[in-house]
Structure 1
Amino acid sequence: MKKKLSVVKIGGNVIENQAELEKFIRLFSDLEGLKILVHGGGKLATQLASKLGVESKMVGGRRITNRETLDIITMVYAGLTNKNIVAKLQANHCNAIGLSGADADSIQAHKRPVKDIDFGFVGDLDGVNTKIISNLMDAGLTPVFCAMSHDGKGQLLNTNADTIASELAIGLGDKYMTTLYYCFEKPGVLMDVADDTSVVKHIDNKKYKELLSTGIIADGMLPKLENCFHALKNNVETVCLGNMSMLDKNNALYTTITL
């Protein structure tokens, strides 16, 4: 029987609030079984860029990553944010190891081709090194990945954290029973965006189509759900959407997504 694995992705709304981060660290540390954490840190990178006089450019919510911006992202993602999270996990008796995709050749990517927009040093994923990641977990370590990959030719690449979490869960799905958790500011998919208690507790293919047709799922939630179903169609057992409280086994207010 496969061991259970939880892959958890957190965003800036948690990372940039020390009280929220401390709460998350406790919840994540208490998660039973094998686990992997994936984090971004975009707002902190933008703040540092501003202090250094480097302009941050975004297109459709995606960062244009030139050479200067890549240096800042590396400092913030792989350095300050990653090591701060690892230190806090260690204080909560979770033996974490901080990684970028370049470490142990764990996440490979290629530079996004230029089409309508040149995103610069942004990576589109090619694969994950499931053997080395499994070895780390077998050794009792909890991997903490920042949102960076590499191309195998010496180049680091800025990479979407949601995608990294999804591809890790997919890649490890052959060996483990994987559950993918996307932590964001809302308690789940909402029937009414103004009412945080209107959580849709379960979505399958049929319910998804219904919510699409009625416009309940739209705008920024649409790519999130597309990413969820992509993972489910490729080895991932379950995807959960909600705020960090969904990691508490006594909390039932979040969205579970299955095929």
Structure 2
Amino acid sequence: MVYVIKVGGNVIDNPALLEQFLADFAAIPGKKILIHGGGKIATRIGDKLGIQSQYVNGRRITDAETIDVVTMVYGGLVNKQIVAKLQAKGCNAIGLTGADANIIPAAKRPVKETDYGFVGDITTEQVQTAPVKLLLDAGFTPVFSPLTHDGAGQILNTNADTIASSLAIALSAHYAVRLIYCFEKKGVLRDASDDNAVINLIDRGIYQSLLAEGVLSDGILPKLENAFAAIESGVKEVLIGHADDVRKNTTDAVAGTLIC
């Protein structure tokens, strides 16, 4: 089993939460990959440099100045701090972007209603698994920042959830893969106002029943659709859960929501 784990910015932005998460992540035995964000840190540093962040529908506009900032912050500051902290915990991590070893080529998002700038869209077929497999089989733990490249020298800002899903799908040709999304909730909730109302197992039939009952919050629906898309593309399991439970969620006794 390979665990492909994405951790959200709410953990990256909190030193105490990050320290605990990385300790738990380092303790996971076997092959694992970490994908991280860091948007709030990029925003803070951009502000200090006089580069204001702009968003449309919650998505960052990545203009020429902003791509420089996110490259420095995601691929440099955040990535290397995480790698150093994992090394201190006995986890032999190696920091990567999608440009390294041509692992994740991407295409600049076409301009439609909005010009998102230097934002990359991935097709899973383009993900190069050979370098990742080489690292995993040699005992390294890849740590990916949310950056890809266009093959012509341009770095592209790319959604970390998408990178995690694309890596998981591509690697499923070689390994059994559990894709784990760590965020601020304990899992998919039957009642959005009750943090303990976790639904521990969802398959397509249960999902359709939950939709019919109208119990799922709007915010969780895209995560579930992405999860089922990954399952239908070869990923063995997808887990949605709290960052605090990442160690448990690599076992059979999951604390979050397992989608299969």
TM-score, shorter chain, exceeding 0.5: yes
The Cα of 1:61 is off from its aligned counterpart by 1.7
What whole-Å deviation, never above 9, does each CA across 1:66-90 have from its counterpart, x for those lacking one? 0111011001100100000000000
Q: Which structure shows the bigger proportion of residues in strand conformation?
A: 1
Distance in structure 2 (CA, Å) of the matches to 1:91 and 1:49: 29
Q: 1:188 maps to which residue?
A: 187
Stretch of structure 1 that moved more, 211-220 or 78-87: 211-220
Greater shift, 188-197 or 95-104, is seen at 188-197
Maintained 8 Å contact 2:80/2:95: yes
CA drift at 1:9: 0.1
Deviation at 1:200, TM superposition (A): 0.6
- Residue 96 (structure 1) aligned to one of 78, 93, 97: 93
Distance 2:225 2:59 in 1: 17
Counterpart of 1:27 (choices 19, 24, 27) is 24
Percent of matched pairs sharing the same residue: 55
Q: Secondary structure at the match of 1:220?
A: helix
Separation of aligned partners in 1, 2:30 and 2:18 = 21
User: Does 2:70 align with 1:73?
Assistant: yes
Q: How many Å apart are 1:156 and its aligned residue?
A: 0.4
Superposed CA deviations along residues 159-212 of structure 1, whole A, max 9, x for unmatched, are: 000000000000000100000000000000111112111001111101111222
Q: Tell me, what secondary structure is at the counterpart of 1:166?
A: helix
Per-residue deviation at 1:218? 3.5
Query: TM-score by structure 1 length?
Result: 0.95
Residue 61 of structure 2 is aligned to residue 59 of structure 1: no
**Equivalent of 2:110 in 110, 113, 136:** 113
CA distance in 1, matches of 2:101, 2:14: 30
Please tell me the root mean square deviation across aligned C-alpha atoms, in Å: 1.2
CA distance in 2, matches of 1:252, 1:240: 8
3-state SS in 1 of match to 2:258? strand
Instruction: Report the alpha carbon displacement of residue 142 of structure 1 after superposing the two structures with TM.
Output: 0.5
What does residue range 225-244 of structure 1 map to in structure 2 within 5 Å?
Answer: 225-244=224-243
Give the aligned partner of residue 203 of structure 1: 202
Q: Which runs of at least 4 in structure 1 moved beyond 6 Å after TM superposition?
A: none
Q: Counterparts of 1:228 and 1:157 in 2: how far apart (Å)? A: 24
Match of 1:162 in 2: 161
Q: TM-score, normalised by structure 2?
A: 0.95
Alpha-carbon distance between aligned partners in 2 of 1:35 and 1:27, rounded to the nearest angstrom: 12
* Equivalences for residues 217-228 of structure 1 within 5 A: 217-228=216-227
State the one-letter code of the partner of 1:5. Answer: V
- Listed as ranges, the gaps of 5+ residues in structure 2 are none
> How much does 1:140 deviate?
1.3
What amino acid is aligned across from residue 36 of structure 1 in structure 2?
A: I
Which moved further from structure 2: 198-207 or 245-254?
245-254
Counterpart residue identity of residue 64, structure 2: R
1:133 aligns to what?
A: 132
- Cα distance in 2 between the residues matched to 1:252 and 1:133: 26
2 CA distance for matches of 1:150 and 1:85?
Answer: 22
1:223 alignment partner AA: P
One-letter amino acid of the structure 2 residue matched with residue 8 of structure 1: I
* Structure 1: unaligned runs, 5 residues or longer: none
- How many residue pairs get aligned? The number is 255
